[in-house]
Structure 1
């Protein structure tokens, strides 16, 4: 098969390194800087992505388009792609969105060769990290994506032909991983307010695989809250659709909202994060 030209929409901290991995097997990986922040531009340059002047040019040239953006933007972004026209290519929705939203995106793009439901589980493929890109949907879409990432730091696994399976797996995993981090912040914050936080950490450190033994991660959670909160809202929607109670995830998302102003703040300390958490 001829090498694919790939378009990456909104290359963020996950999207840019994932796109760079795709470049291993692609003829080119394109992105559009219009309306993007200086940080996004610098990131795309760092990972060697090729800029194009308009979204229309990206869609006209790309065989495969990968959407990796904040959950709330996923549907509008797919709508923009539909308006500009994207026919005969593969659209990969790798956002942390619920299955119902993924199905709506499929309906927005009736002229594509295939829409692939995808979900990234793991850290960005930097410094030896090897996330897995789970895929579901028609083989006409999943097979080209597997070829793109063959032999790279991004592993792929096809779950089945049903759109929504990858989204469900991603959000099921995110529900535990992200909510447990929120509970750590609340537990450490409560213990610290009474001067017993180190004792709590000591207790947790005697147990295996306890997030409570990793309080340093609270600041990282705060910096990522702007992304994690919407993911948990998506997961809560899926719980409700399955007849399961969504309240715990919605509460975790509301807790994360207290850190919205800490977006991507890599200099945030544990003390700063806990202080913000205690001040709505």
Structure 2
């Protein structure tokens, strides 16, 4: 198919921006407005996505469905799509562990073809160029790659096994997100003793240290509602591999102190640290 119709579940900040990039090579991009918030509708309109009334309509019209939703909802979303007889390519692009990705493949196949996906990077807006890693059947991953040719979303196929893309995404997230949590704790601790600026200056003399980017603490707090569940997924993956999961579970627990900071775009560094001290 030269120009497929693509369904996006759901148009969050990442999903809407990724879908808008796919529109470059798609006939149309559709999303299901049933049960979605006014904020989702506004994002969909901003990115030029076409609303359909129901999930059955989306499943019927779409050649490719991309699932980008909170990790906890990934399996329920897949079951809903499978229940409506979707028979195209289903891109499971959520931050979930490989075991869950395989379960989702079991729910949708053989009626649909499942491609495992993982987005590494920020939403593709304002010059950002995330990479969508893929794994699964070659013909299907090739279709997904073609969707993003010439767009801000780069693609890379890792292999034919569902779960490989999810594993890479969570392995990276386990480092990157836990590192940001450690920065918040280190600077919060230093602040209690009046030496936080000195700590930041020490870090700035050591190239590449996240400690030299304290402004990112507020951004971490705003994203905590998403990052915590991702780290729980990564902890489950560690446990399944016989590796200790406790560090990531502790980081997820720390992030939970910021859950009420969701969408608090004006949050300052001081505000974020205060919320961490007084959840």
TM-score, normalised by the number of residues in structure 2: 0.99
Which consecutive unaligned segments of at least 5 residues does structure 2 have? none
Greater shift, 104-113 or 254-263, is seen at: 104-113
Q: In the alignment, which residue of structure 1 is the partner of 2:11?
A: 11
Secondary structure in structure 1 of the residue aligned to 2:65: strand
Give CA-to-partner distance per residue, 1:110-161, whole Å, 9 cap, x none. Answer: 2334100000011111011111100000012101101101111101100000
| C-alpha contact (below 8 Å) 2:85/2:111 kept by paired residues | no
Q: Distance in 2 between matches of 1:113 and 1:189?
A: 49
After the TM superposition, which of the residue ranges 100-109 and 77-86 deviates more from structure 2?
77-86
- Identify the residue that residue 96 of structure 1 maps to in structure 2: 95
Structure 2 distance, partners of 1:157, 1:210, is: 28
Q: Alpha-carbon deviation of 1:33?
A: 1.1
Contact 1:171–1:235 (CA under 8 A) maintained in structure 2: yes
CA separation in 2, counterparts of 1:139 and 1:62?
Answer: 20
Q: State the match for 2:272 in structure 1.
A: 273
User: 1:49 Cα deviation (Å)?
Assistant: 0.3
Match of 2:212 in 1: 213
Partners of 1:114 and 1:140 within 8 A in 2: no
1:53 counterpart residue number: 53
Distance 1:49 1:185 in 2: 37
Asked if the contact 1:136–1:162 (Cα under 8 Å) also holds between the matched residues in 2, the reply is yes
Q: Which residue does the alignment assign to 1:105?
A: 104
Matched, 1:41 2:31: no
Determine the C-alpha separation between the residues in 2 that align with 1:47 and 1:173.
28
**1:185-207: CA deviations, max 9, x gaps?**
00000000110000000000000
| Residue 142 (structure 1) aligns with | 141
Conservation of the 8 A alpha-carbon contact between 1:113 and 1:141: no
Give the distance between the partners of 1:179 and 1:112, measured in 2 at CA.
Answer: 38
Shift of 1:2: 2.6
Match in the other structure for 1:258:
257
Query: CA contact under 8 A between 1:96 and 1:119: conserved in structure 2?
Result: yes
Report how many residues are paired.
Answer: 279
What 5-or-longer segments of structure 1 have no aligned partner? none
RMSD: 0.8
Which residue does the alignment assign to 1:27?
Answer: 27
TM-score under structure 1 normalisation? 0.98
Counterpart position of 1:237? 236
CA distance in 2, matches of 1:271, 1:37: 30
**8 Å CA contact 1:33, 1:52 repeated in 2:** yes
Deviation at 1:92, TM superposition (A): 0.1
Please state whether the residue corresponding to 2:24 is helix, strand or coil: coil
Structure 1 stretches of 4+ with a deviation exceeding 3 A read: none
SS at match of 1:239: helix
Distance in 2, matches of 1:112 and 1:2, equals 21
1:173 maps to what in 2?
A: 172
Deviation at residue 264 of structure 1 after TM alignment: 1.9
How far off its partner does 1:90 sit? 0.1
Residue 248 of structure 1: aligned partner: 247
Give the secondary structure class of the aligned counterpart of 1:24.
helix
Q: Which residue of 2 aligns with 1:78?
A: 78
> How far did 1:38 drift?
1.1
